[in-house]
């Protein structure tokens, strides 16, 4: 009979490149062990919830990422944008600066679309997971090629130890005082390889790029009033249909 036990159950643990090393004990039917224990590894996907995420198909549920963003001064924000709350001084935004340029991405838009494919000095994605209250900004290049990221319709809970590391290393941030919630997290996918990516970890969990990390960039969550006072000449993301979204799946 074969049984798997993580080394942590034996009082020790080893982690390498996103894999947890496990121990498999094989014994003969007569009770005499005549084989050595075999070492197995759990992939990053298998350590999270659900561990079957890699076998799950895309589930487009009407959430379409923005891939043609438009920006302007706050005076260009529509008076009554359809489906989006009006922008005011207390509205929460994710702010990004690069090369002297400052842009604000309102949560009233990110709550609906979750991913913005943008170019701010370099190709980037600005992402927000409403369930986990987690923001993440990263360069959207894969093997040097610019990729477009979209919402998979799937959710996956990362292992707690990796979530803690992501927060500690400032790969992810939150708009709430308690920080991000390790809950069902946004799973993104890219149009280059079809790999599944954890938004919270900025890391691929399935596909050709499994366990590869995106190059994360700095961002902050603040009120629109605070951001505007510090960046009076900054632009704000304008809601669809001014900004364009990816084509819906067939």
Dump pLDDT digits (tens) for 166-220. 999 999 999 999 999 999 999 999 999 999 999 999 999 999 999 999 999 999 9
**What's the whole-model pTM score?**
0.84
pLDDT higher than 80, residue 127:
yes
Distance, in Å, from the CA atom of 140 to the CA atom of 1, rounded to the nearest integer, reads 46
Q: Do 14 and 135 lie in a common domain?
A: no
Residues 117, 24, single domain; the answer is: no
Task: Work out the average pLDDT over 63-78.
Answer: 94
- The pLDDT score that the predictor gives to residue 213 is 95
pLDDT of residue 2: 25
Asked if 72 and 152 sit in the same domain, the reply is yes
- Same domain? 119 vs 202: yes
Tell whether 47 is covered by a domain: no
- Two structure tokens written together for 9: 């159950």
Is residue 49 included in any domain, yes or no? no
Asked whether residue 226 is domain-assigned, the answer is: yes
Split into its structural domains, the chain has a count of 2
Co-location of 111 and 230 in the same domain: yes
Q: Percentage of residues in the chain with pLDDT exceeding 70? A: 82
- What gap in Å lies between CA 158 and CA 58, rounded to an integer? 18
On whether both 128 and 215 belong to a single domain, the answer is yes
138 and 237 belong to one structural domain: yes
Query: For position 173, what pLDDT does the model report?
Result: 95
- 238: domain range? 55-245
Cross-strand partners of 106: 93
- Please tell me whether residues 176 and 215 are part of one structural domain: yes
For 198, half-sphere exposure in the C-beta direction (CA atoms, 13 angstrom radius) is 34
CB 138, CB 28: distance < 8 Å: no
Query: Is pLDDT larger for residue 64 or for residue 30?
Result: 64
Using pLDDT thresholds of 50, 70 and 90, give the confidence band for residue 36: low
Tell me: pLDDT of 16 over 90. Answer: no
Same domain, 22 and 70: no
Rounded to 5 degrees, φ, ψ at 144 are 85, -5
The pLDDT assigned to 171 comes to 94
Residues 62 and 28 in one domain: no
Do 197 and 127 lie in one domain? The reply is yes
Whether 80 has a pLDDT exceeding 90, the answer reads: no
Q: Are residues 24 and 140 in the same domain?
A: no
Q: Is the pLDDT of residue 103 over 50?
A: yes
């Amino acid at each position: 009979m074969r049984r798997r036990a993580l080394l942590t159950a034996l009082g020790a643990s080893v982690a390498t490149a996103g894999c947890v090393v496990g121990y498999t004990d094989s014994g003969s039917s007569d009770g005499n062990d005549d084989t050595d224990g075999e070492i197995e590894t759990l992939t990053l996907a298998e350590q999270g919830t659900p561990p079957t995420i890699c076998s799950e198909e895309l589930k487009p549920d009407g959430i379409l990422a923005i891939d043609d963003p438009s920006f302007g001064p706050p005076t260009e924000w529509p008076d009554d944008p359809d489906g989006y709350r009006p922008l005011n001084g207390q509205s929460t935004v994710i702010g990004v600066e690069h090369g002297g340029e400052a842009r604000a991405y309102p949560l009233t838009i990110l709550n609906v679309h979750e991913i913005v494919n943008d170019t701010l000095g370099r190709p980037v994605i600005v992402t927000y997971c409403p369930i986990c209250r987690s923001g993440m900004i990263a360069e959207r290049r894969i093997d040097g090629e610019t990729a477009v990221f979209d919402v998979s319709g799937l959710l996956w809970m990362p292992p707690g130890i990796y979530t803690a590391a992501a927060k500690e290393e400032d790969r992810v941030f939150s708009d709430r005082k308690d920080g991000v919630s390790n809950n069902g997290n946004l799973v993104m996918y890219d149009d280059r390889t079809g790999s599944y990516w954890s938004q919270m970890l900025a890391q691929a969990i399935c596909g050709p790029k499994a366990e590869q990390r995106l190059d994360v960039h700095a961002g902050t969550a603040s009120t629109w009033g605070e951001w505007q006072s510090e960046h009076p000449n900054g632009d704000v993301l304008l809601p669809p249909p001014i900004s364009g979204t990816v084509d819906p799946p067939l």
